[in-house]
Amino acid sequence: MKGFAAHFPHKHISRSALCSPVFQKMPTVKFAVPKGSIEEVTFKLLEQAWQSVSGRGRTYRIKLGDPDIDTKILRPQEIPTYVQEGFYDVGITGRDWILEAKADVQVLLDLEIGRVKQVIAVPAGFPYSNLDEMIGDFAKKGRTLRISSEYLTTTSAHFKASPSYKKHFGSADPMIITPWLRIGENKKVEIFLSFGATEAKPPEDVDAIFDITETGTTLAQNNLKIIDWVTESTAVLVANKKALKDAAKREKIADMVALLKGVVEGRKKLHIFVNVKKENLPKLLKELPALKRPTISPLSEDGWYGVNTVIDKTEFIRIVPKMRRLAQGLVVLEPKQILPLDEVNLDGYS
């Protein structure tokens, strides 16, 4: 304590006083963000929420404007497991990777970015229109069906759920093949780990792929057709369940949820200002959807009012003709954030 005490020359400061909340630093929340396809859009989201992100492009350790958040960039495949194990308190990853890892994490917020669909695709010349047909035909002919995917456990579970698979192979697990292990007893359905460019594997290496797509364009360009839509995935904010039981960390995580949710909601809203005559005000208010209640202010010109409100973007086209008839001087802004300060409550997750 000698070196530390030198900064506090008053000898009457007790050990218990030094341990009081005044001298305690708020615990750092460890935050994992994804590298790869959604890296840039994630950074944009964070910049809108925290105002500053430094260290991008030079290191895997970036700094946010909030000094109580320790941030590191990781592959999204790793984040669900690392958050589950407590290496990180919170993280951003895809729902697809949570499912693949079977991770026991708490999903706090859908960030509505990185939207992709998991699909099964085969060479365009294959005669099959769905997965069940393909499994049944390969089984009847005694042929081994080979699939390439980064999603080994998800692919296995989806194939096992097929009626044709159950009919021909019962509850046997498809064989999963990687460079370092082989598991599963059904050698007639083999799932090979893909290290990328999965769409390039058929038809020489495998018969089908289990992959993600946004529009299906890349698959079509590689002469593939989709025969099964599995599920849709978006990027989500997840938390370690033990971290949510820590009172201080839970408060900081609640702040993070509020800021990120504000950005997500802000992207779906428009902030509008419009001037209206007194006699048209009741009609306009009746037609105008509002986030809460519109703000109405008298203008300098007698008999005129300014109306200020936030609406859903989807409502804008519908109400423009009505505002043209009833009002003047419409100004439209896209809000950066709409913070739901009265809605963030993590008590249910503790």
Q: Is 346 among the domain residues? A: no
CA distance 237 to 105: 10
Q: Is 22 among the domain residues? A: yes
Identify whether residues 94 and 134 lie together within a single domain.
no
Q: Is 338 among the domain residues? A: no
Identify whether residues 259 and 282 lie together within a single domain.
no
* Among 250, 265, 280, residue at a domain's last position: 265
Q: Is 343 among the domain residues? A: no
pLDDT of residue 343: 60
Q: How many structural domains comprise the chain?
A: 3
Identify whether residues 126 and 50 lie together within a single domain.
no
Residue 22 has pLDDT above 60, yes or no: no
Q: Is 348 among the domain residues? A: no
Identify whether residues 87 and 125 lie together within a single domain.
no
Identify whether residues 247 and 298 lie together within a single domain.
no
CA distance 159 to 154: 9
Identify whether residues 225 and 123 lie together within a single domain.
yes
* Among 212, 246, 265, residue at a domain's last position: 265
Identify whether residues 75 and 175 lie together within a single domain.
no
Residue 51 has pLDDT above 80, yes or no: no
Identify whether residues 19 and 100 lie together within a single domain.
yes
CATH of the domain at 24: 3.40.190.10
> Could you report the per-residue pLDDT of 126-149, keeping only the tens digit for each?
999 999 999 999 999 999 999 999
Identify whether residues 85 and 140 lie together within a single domain.
no
Q: Which two structure tokens, joined as six digits, stand for 250?
A: 């839970």
Identify whether residues 148 and 176 lie together within a single domain.
yes
Q: Kindly report which listed range (53-67, 82-96, 185-199, 208-222) carries the lowest average pLDDT score.
A: 53-67
- CB atoms under 10 Å from CB of 220, counted, come to 15
Q: Is 19 among the domain residues? A: yes
Residue at 218: amino acid letter? T
Q: Kindly report which listed range (215-224, 303-312, 316-325) carries the lowest average pLDDT score.
A: 316-325
Q: Which residue range forms the structural domain that includes residue 293?
A: 268-333
Q: Is 104 among the domain residues? A: yes
Identify whether residues 99 and 245 lie together within a single domain.
yes
Identify whether residues 129 and 209 lie together within a single domain.
yes
Q: Is 345 among the domain residues? A: no
- Asked whether 56 and 43 are in contact (CB, 8 A), the reply is yes
* Among 220, 245, 265, residue at a domain's last position: 265
- Asked whether 118 and 154 are in contact (CB, 8 A), the reply is yes
> Could you report the per-residue pLDDT of 195-232, keeping only the tens digit for each?
999 999 999 999 999 999 998 899 999 999 999 999 99
Q: How many CA atoms lie within 13 A of 266 on its CB side?
A: 17
Strand partners, 271: 310, 333
Choice between 34 and 6, residue whose per-residue pLDDT is larger:
34
CA distance 139 to 165: 9
CATH of the domain at 320: 3.30.70.120
Element (H, E) at 154: helix 152-160
Pairing of strands 235-239, 53-54: unpaired
Q: What mean pLDDT is reported for the chain?
A: 89
- Asked whether 346 and 241 are in contact (CB, 8 A), the reply is no
Pairing of strands 327-333, 186-193: unpaired
